[in-house]
Amino acid sequence: MAKVKISPLISDQNELLEKINELEHSLNYQKKLNKALKQHNQHLKKTLERTIAIMIKIAEMKDPYTVGHQVRVSQLATAIAKRMNLSEKKVESIRIASLIHDIGKVSVPSEILNKPGRLTNSEYALVKTHPEIFYKYIKDIDFPVKVADIILQHHERINGSGYPKGLKDDQILLEAKIVGVADVVESMNSKRPYRDALGMDKALDEISRNDGELYDPEVVEVCKKLLRENGFKFEKVGNNHPY
């Protein structure tokens, strides 16, 4: 009777099967890990959005005239950024920064924020501290990108007349220029304690007149196109809105 030999091929096949098994386990483990990571990221994102919503509510309690202001600025700024084909990361940082750009105003006394008349120089100086105040609190938070810097720079103007640092054109982040234009347009289109809403025509006239002087020409052009030709409309900010 012939001796049965274990062929090296069969032994290799067994080894191969073992390896395939190991690989399958490792792939399953990787899949599970990816799923857990995805769930964790979704949870973090939800927590961030809820935190932002709470910060907005607190700021609005202090300054009721600006209810919805930051959310509307965020809607317009995000639309401008998308229209300018900025990267997803930049669009996201513009969205987050504009949602909370004025939170530093909680450090300004309510009587000043809600004053119906013209502010004195010292009152205005206090209001102008709001970008820096909030910047100091959030500069160490690991936001996607540059959120703190966008907030710090949203009142800078390209001829250097803005605040807090009087930065000029190249020194200002494009993201901050976008939030700055959206901020001006939304503010002029809304009622304030010291004046009625001025309307969209006046808001667009303001950015057109100061195009290249205070505001970035490309941002102004895209903003005007969005509002005049592309039918951009602010979404209603109400009870059902996340913010």
Interacting residue ranges for Fe ion, rule: CB under 5 A: 102
Helix boundaries (H) for the chain: 8-62, 69-83, 88-99, 110-113, 121-127, 130-138, 147-153, 174-188, 200-209, 217-228
Minimum CB separation of residue 37 from Fe ion in Å reads 36
Instruction: Report CA 96 to chain centroid distance, whole Å.
Output: 2
* Token pair 């513009």: residue: 94
If the CB atoms of residues 102 and 156 are measured against Fe ion, the closer one turns out to be 102
If the CB atoms of residues 163 and 234 are measured against Fe ion, the closer one turns out to be 163
Minimum CB separation of residue 32 from Fe ion in Å reads 45
| Greatest alpha-carbon span in the chain | 113
If the CB atoms of residues 91 and 179 are measured against Fe ion, the closer one turns out to be 179
With CB atoms as reference, the residue minimizing the distance to Fe ion is: 102
CA 169, CA 153: separation in Å to the nearest integer?
11
Minimum CB separation of residue 237 from Fe ion in Å reads 18
CB 59 within 8 A of CB 70: yes
Minimum CB separation of residue 200 from Fe ion in Å reads 20
If the CB atoms of residues 46 and 136 are measured against Fe ion, the closer one turns out to be 136
